[in-house]
């Protein structure tokens, strides 16, 4: 589902600021609760800034035991877009913006809209832990036997003998 923000609507808004609320599941992510986002979109000359707060609960698979578990999401969004080319926007506006650690400027290349749904999808994906573990007491794959973890294609290497060179 698309949630499109037209830049023209932003420019016509009072104080060139729009407020949006998003509450729904995001396709491609196992959502246990709808993803909720309260966003503030501001036009800053040649730049557009989107800030806000995102919450929700997703279902993940533990990397150690492979069981499913729920993960609460609670994070801030702070995205910066440039309406034209990044260098052209800086040269024309003369404005200076502090780029924070981990913040990127997305170049809209003259596009007339921003896909809020895509922004939220990417933000949720980036806020899912790299190492997904269901809990501090996860025992991992203890339930697997050695038979379950051996790849039969590697049986050919069982009988290889390695003789060290005699010096």
pTM of the model: 0.70
Percent of the chain at pLDDT above 90? 49
To the nearest 10°, report the CA torsion of 117, 118, 121, 123.
-110
Q: What is the largest CA-CA distance in the chain?
A: 85
Q: What is the mean pLDDT of residues 109-128?
A: 91
> Over the range 11-36, which residues count as b (16 or more CB within 10 Å of their CB) and which as e?
eeeeeeebeeebeeebeebebeeebe
Encode pLDDT of 53-81 as tens digits. Answer: 999 999 999 998 889 999 999 999 999 99
User: What is the number of other CB atoms lying within 10 angstroms of the CB of residue 100?
Assistant: 9
What integer pLDDT is reported at residue 90 of this predicted model?
47
Q: Does 149 have pLDDT greater than 80? A: no
What integer pLDDT is reported at residue 107 of this predicted model?
82
Classified as helix, coil or strand, 9 is helix
Q: Does 96 have pLDDT greater than 90? A: no
What confidence category does residue 150 fall into, taking pLDDT thresholds of 50, 70 and 90? low
Q: Sketch the domain layout of the chain as residue ranges.
A: 4-137
Q: What is the mean pLDDT of residues 143-158?
A: 67
Encode pLDDT of 15-36 as tens digits. Answer: 999 999 999 999 999 999 999 9
């Amino acid at each position: 589902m698309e949630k499109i923000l037209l830049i023209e609507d932003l420019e016509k808004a009072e104080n060139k600021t729009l407020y949006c609320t998003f509450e729904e599941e995001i396709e491609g992510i196992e959502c246990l609760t709808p993803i909720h986002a309260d966003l503030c979109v501001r036009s800053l000359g040649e730049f557009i800034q989107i800030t806000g707060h995102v919450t929700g609960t997703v279902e993940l698979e533990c990397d150690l035991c492979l069981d499913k578990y729920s993960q609460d999401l609670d994070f801030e969004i702070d995205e910066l877009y440039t309406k034209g080319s990044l260098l052209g926007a800086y040269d024309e506006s003369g404005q200076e913006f502090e780029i924070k650690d981990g913040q990127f400027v997305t170049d809209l290349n003259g596009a007339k809209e921003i896909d809020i749904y895509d922004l939220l999808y990417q933000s949720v994906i980036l806020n899912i832990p790299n190492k997904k573990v269901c809990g501090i007491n996860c025992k991992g794959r203890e339930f697997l036997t050695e038979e379950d973890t051996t790849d039969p294609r590697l049986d050919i290497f069982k009988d290889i003998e390695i003789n060290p060179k005699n010096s």
